[in-house]
Amino acid sequence: MNEPLNQQEVRRLIREILANGVYWTSSHAQAEMRKDGLTELDVVNVLRGGVVEPGEWENGSWRYQLRTQRIVVVVAFDSETELSVVTAWRNQK
C-alpha cells in the first residue's frame, strides 16, 4: 500500500475493511472511548460517515482522522485488509 492515501482512497479502504476485513481498537483507544462515553457503534458510525482529514505521519505510521461534529476517530492501516483504531474522543463544546 502506497501511503499517504487521499481522502477518497481512505474512505474506499475503510468501507472495504468494515465489510470484509478486520479492524481492531487499541487499548489506548478503548480507554479514551470509555473516558468519553463512546461505544464501538459510535466509532463504526464515524468510520462510515465521518469527514476524512489528510494523513499525518506519526509514531512510525500514517494516521488518518475521521470526524463528525461530535466525535473524532484516528485510524492507521496495517494492510489493505486491516485497520487499527488508534484513538477516539468526543469533541468538547
3-state class of 30 per DSSP?
helix
Rg value, the chain, Cα: 12
| CA 50 – CA 47 distance, rounded (Å) | 6
Q: What is the pTM of this model?
A: 0.95
Per DSSP bridges, beta strands 51-52 and 56-58 are: unpaired
Q: Give me the domains of the chain, ranges plus CATH numbers.
A: 7-88 (3.30.2310)
Position 93 scores a pLDDT of 63
For residues 72-80, average pLDDT: 97
Residue 24 clears pLDDT 70, i.e. is over it? yes
